[in-house]
Structure 1
Amino acid sequence: MAPKFRAVPWKRNLQKIPEELLAQARAFGSDILFVGITKTLAPNEIEQTPLRQLGIPQAEGEVSEIIPADDMGKYSRRNKHGWEVVRDDLPKITKTQYWESPNFGDASRYGTHTHYWTREVYQREIHEPRFYSIQAKTVKVNAAGDRVVLIRLKQEISRTSRTFEDELLFMLNLLQENCGGAEVVSSETAEADYIRTINLDWEVFPPGNAGEVIERLTGGRSADMALRGKVEERVQLFSRLTPVAYLKGAAGFGSYIGAKYADDLVVFENVNYGNALYVLYDNWEDVSKRSRLDLLKGTDARFDRLPHRTGWDEAFEKLLRSEKRKRGLK
């Protein structure tokens, strides 16, 4: 049986944040910091260890950037694919799940029919992937060819965040898995710039014809045809249920698209990640103010998640029509 993760010549993970790193972070003058480490590396270390995946530049001043491979460790996998936590320490909740099955074993000839069950289940915490990238900057090269390299996560973090220690542990482990070390570094990033990288603002568009909506949600870009095709599919699906508005993540979060059917009935998806659609029942005013990391914070007691398995779109339509009827909507 193949190993779950590739072998590394260093300790892979930290069980908790080292106290000296927490003390160092608390002593910084700025609330904004990042996770990084400076290493002096011989050419053979760079080429013959897992550090090779970082693509460390040869020339001084050059920078490489990658999203770590998911076989580097648990946190690298979570960074790309997200994860779930079953909260068996919390009371169970009532959930209804829908799915489609082929008629007589052949959906292409005979269509499908809907199954559903309602039962008490443990609550789940859903964590979306972070997609944090690792940058490697060659600061200096000596006569022997050794490189002094700053290796860091591109994303900053704020000490004032309510999830600071959880997210810091995630970041430290992600860098530890990929280069065998991790420290905290005070950042010169302005707070306003940091907020722009983490806050998920939304652009709200009124309904229009499908072509207009697609242009708005894609920003008129046609280069990424696969992404555009996915947006077109979602617009067709959303439009069948008559939304009052379409939603798009603003600034650098254009991969989030969705639709609003009522103040307490909103659907969205990260089309770059694209393995599930989410139906939220909180007030839209609350949803719109959350950060990207807080968007699904908590448990699935307040939202439904529809993984993209066979028949998910038909199950989604049935769920939305049921929720609209509860609200007296057509």
Structure 2
Amino acid sequence: MQFRDVPWKRNLRKVPEEIISKIQQLTTDAFIVGTVKTLSAADVAGRFSHLAPPSELDEPSELLPPRDMGMYSTRNVDGWEVKRTDLPKIKKTFYWETPNFGDAATYGTHLHFHEREVYRREFHEPRFYTISTKLLKMATGAGGGGIYQLAINQPLLRTQNGYEEELFFMLNLLQENCESVGIYSADASPEEIISTLSLDWEIFPPGSNDEIVRRLTAGRKQDARKTGVVAERVKLFSLLKPNAFLRGNGAFGSYIGARYADDLVVFENMEYGNALYVLYDNWQEVSKRSRLDLIRGTDAEYDRLPHTYGWEQAFGKIMRREKKKRGLV
């Protein structure tokens, strides 16, 4: 992707020492990645227009940074993948489409499945972090602009597993979009911060497909397309007879899934909506993870099925194999 030109250094190679020092001096574990800047009217209309800085004191804006602001802005929306050549290879199932009798137009196609050893891959889901821009003090005169607070709209805990990597990601996202970085203590209590990071699932037993869809979408803002996708997933999950359905709450509000055994769970982020995960970890451990830890590490413990042609058949094949291993068929 061609990134837009910016008149500042786009990325950081490491977390600045002053940021590390500020974090060490915090009296609480919770903090926000943000900065304060004085913006002129020309800045608001020009180089910072992608954040839509507000002109009123009580009307903060909150926007998803555009992909073309830089690598971290792109990863924030699309996620990213890392091949782990430093680890032993593992067996994975691959599937692809082949024309029948060499003529797909006349005879259609069929799927091939093949297992082979490959390097493990770390897939990092998109973060969908937004940047909040708040006008703290108006500039004198009628020209506009003023003093603004710009912050990533997701607090961090320095006691959180892997927080250093997430801090580095957030700082780069802020640098790409705001020209400078900083941190400050979160206003919320540590308990409130933890509640936004901790995993929270609602678990309910199987029922009719219509009933499950209603429960998965109740109290949520859903357009017709998303509701239709939820209905499709429920139909697919139900064919394999789960013992429970899962609905994420709080920070997990965009996740739905189904549990077939304590170590066989499937789920999908409906906000992202381009891949299904089959997770083989123990559910009691999974249910304690934060949103950032839900899918972290190599894919030795899960299968990720992008929604390309034939993914439903591949999902069925994997699930039948895994259920058979567990004596569920």
TM tier relative to shorter chain: over 0.9
Correspondence 1:201 to 2:177: no
SS of structure 2 residue aligned to 1:53: helix
SS of structure 2 residue aligned to 1:266: strand
Give the structure 2 partner of residue 329 of structure 1. 328
SS of structure 1 residue aligned to 2:6: coil
Contact kept? 2:133, 2:149, Cα under 8 Å: yes
Identity of aligned residues (%): 55
Runs of 5+ unmatched residues, structure 2:
none
- How far apart in 2 are the matches of 1:199 and 1:99? 38
SS of structure 1 residue aligned to 2:173: helix
Give the structure 2 partner of residue 167 of structure 1. 166
Which residue, 41, 44, 48 being the options, matches 1:43?
41
Q: Note closer, same or farther for the CA distance 1:203–1:112 as it changes in structure 2 (3 Å cut).
A: farther
- How far apart in 1 are the matches of 2:82 and 2:12? 19
Q: What's the CA shift for 1:71? A: 0.8
Instruction: Specify the code of the residue in structure 1 equivalent to 2:117.
Output: E
Q: Note closer, same or farther for the CA distance 1:133–1:322 as it changes in structure 2 (3 Å cut).
A: same
- How far apart in 2 are the matches of 1:147 and 1:153? 20
Q: What's the CA shift for 1:81? A: 1.0
Contact kept? 2:133, 2:150, Cα under 8 Å: yes
Q: Note closer, same or farther for the CA distance 1:75–1:232 as it changes in structure 2 (3 Å cut).
A: same
Q: Deviations over 1:53-88 (max 9, x none)?
A: 111011223200101011110100111111111111
TM norm structure 1: 0.94
- How far apart in 1 are the matches of 2:233 and 2:255? 11
Give the structure 2 partner of residue 307 of structure 1. 306
Which residue, 26, 29, 46 being the options, matches 2:27?
29
- How far apart in 2 are the matches of 1:220 and 1:139? 34
Instruction: Specify the code of the residue in structure 2 equivalent to 1:71.
Output: D
SS of structure 1 residue aligned to 2:69: coil
SS of structure 2 residue aligned to 1:71: helix
The within-5 A match list for 1:1-330 is: 4-49=2-47, 51-104=48-101, 110=107, 112-144=109-141, 145-219=144-218, 223-330=222-329
Q: Deviations over 1:90-132 (max 9, x none)?
A: 1111222234445356778755423122121111111111111
Runs of 5+ unmatched residues, structure 1:
none
Contact kept? 2:28, 2:190, Cα under 8 Å: no
SS of structure 1 residue aligned to 2:67: coil
Q: Deviations over 1:134-168 (max 9, x none)?
A: 00000111223341111111111011112121111
- State the aligned residue count: 327
SS of structure 1 residue aligned to 2:228: helix
- How far apart in 2 are the matches of 1:265 and 1:111? 34
Q: Deviations over 1:219-242 (max 9, x none)?
A: 165751111011001011111111
Instruction: Specify the code of the residue in structure 2 equivalent to 1:76.
Output: S
Q: Note closer, same or farther for the CA distance 1:169–1:41 as it changes in structure 2 (3 Å cut).
A: same
Moved more, 76-85 or 212-221: 212-221
Instruction: Specify the code of the residue in structure 1 equivalent to 2:126.
Output: P
Instruction: Specify the code of the residue in structure 2 equivalent to 1:143.
Output: T
Instruction: Specify the code of the residue in structure 1 equivalent to 2:280.
Output: Y
Q: Note closer, same or farther for the CA distance 1:317–1:109 as it changes in structure 2 (3 Å cut).
A: farther
* Root-mean-square deviation (Å): 1.7
SS of structure 2 residue aligned to 1:277: strand
SS of structure 1 residue aligned to 2:316: helix
SS of structure 2 residue aligned to 1:214: helix
Q: Note closer, same or farther for the CA distance 1:104–1:64 as it changes in structure 2 (3 Å cut).
A: farther
- How far apart in 1 are the matches of 2:159 and 2:318? 38
Q: What's the CA shift for 1:4? A: 1.7
Instruction: Specify the code of the residue in structure 2 equivalent to 1:294.
Output: D
- How far apart in 2 are the matches of 1:88 and 1:80? 25
Q: Note closer, same or farther for the CA distance 1:108–1:254 as it changes in structure 2 (3 Å cut).
A: farther
- How far apart in 2 are the matches of 1:188 and 1:199? 18
